[in-house]
Amino acid sequence: MKLYDISMTLRPDMVVWPGDDPFEITPTGRIADGATCNLSRLAMGSHTGTHVDSPLHFIDGADAIDKLDLRKLVGPADVLDCTGMREIDAPALEGRLHEGVIPLLKTDSSRLSDTTPFRDDYVYLTAAAAQLLAANGVQAVGIDYLSIAGKNGTPVHRTLLEAGIAVIEGLRLADVPAGSYRFVCLPLKIEGCDGAPARAILLQD
């Protein structure tokens, strides 16, 4: 079985959304210094690296990440080749969506560096494409940079989240061929939080 780890590596010099807190890891105990074990303190924003948005991210009073149905994030997935596109509009997805299958959008953004600085030329989903996803019974959608939407991300996020579609951002798909896979993406279970980092993998027989 082939396994692809499609998660970003959390590290201090990693790229984050402008204005978000950088990832920090601070040793709090080291065996070399006489401690009984190695321990570290982590500090990061809730949308650091590969992460999942909860409905609460854009809808006040909606479900937080600990209430998200994990069945939306486990199941068959299609990696859709969307390279060469500046934005992903509805025509780019027509005929490529299947109920119960999670579309993972592979774009030129997968070639962008995981480290700073942030790049604002990332590929994103248009409002019309988000509406198409909502109309096709999609349970989740993933993309390969830190936001599925352009800089004004509210309409796209709201369309998806209000339709019950889980949003996965920050995937790494550069080395994954287009095709069908088994997808597993599990966000950290943080009570009351608007999103959480996740480990995402693809499996293929």
Q: Which residues are catalytic?
A: 57
Cα 121 versus chain centre, distance: 17
Tokens coding 145: 């940079």
Helices (H), the chain: 90-93, 127-135, 154-162
Which residue in 200, 192, 204 sits closest to 167, CA to CA?
200
Which residue in 84, 126, 127 sits closest to 109, CA to CA?
84
CA–CA distance, 18 with 125 (Å, rounded to integer) = 19
CA–CA distance, 100 with 83 (Å, rounded to integer) = 24
Tokens coding 189: 């279970």
Cα 120 versus chain centre, distance: 17
